[in-house]
């Protein structure tokens, strides 16, 4: 069952705003993931198994970007995963 209420709605909106912000996709992904983790810890949104897997995938893509192994592929991976997380947030 999806989280409801103004805190859940605000957390979803904040994630989507950060994910779609102007700027580099990897930087946006880091900011969006940090904000989402805070919302999950605060209990504004419910963790789902799929969401945890997507966040782990995003973390791996961001870590690869830090060491320069994926280059532009990290940005594309981040954009792809952010879109999937955004869809999953409707169930979180």
pLDDT attached to residue 50: 95
pTM (2 decimals)? Answer: 0.84
Please tell me what DSSP assigns to residue 44: S
> Across the chain, how many H-helices and E-strands are there?
4, 0
Counting every residue, how long is the chain?
Answer: 92
| Tens-digit pLDDT profile for residues 2-23 | 788 999 999 999 999 999 999 8
Blockwise average pLDDT, block size 10, the chain, 92 residues: 87 95 90 96 94 93 68 79 94 80
């Amino acid at each position: 069952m999806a989280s409801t209420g103004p805190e859940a709605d605000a957390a979803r909106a904040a994630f989507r705003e950060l994910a779609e912000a102007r700027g580099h996709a990897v930087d946006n992904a880091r900011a969006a993931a940090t904000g989402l983790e805070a919302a999950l810890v605060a209990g504004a949104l419910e963790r789902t198994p799929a969401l945890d897997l997507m966040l782990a995938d995003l973390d791996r893509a961001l870590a690869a970007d830090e060491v320069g192994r994926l280059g532009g592929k990290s940005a594309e991976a981040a954009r792809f995963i952010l879109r999937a997380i955004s869809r999953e947030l409707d169930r979180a």
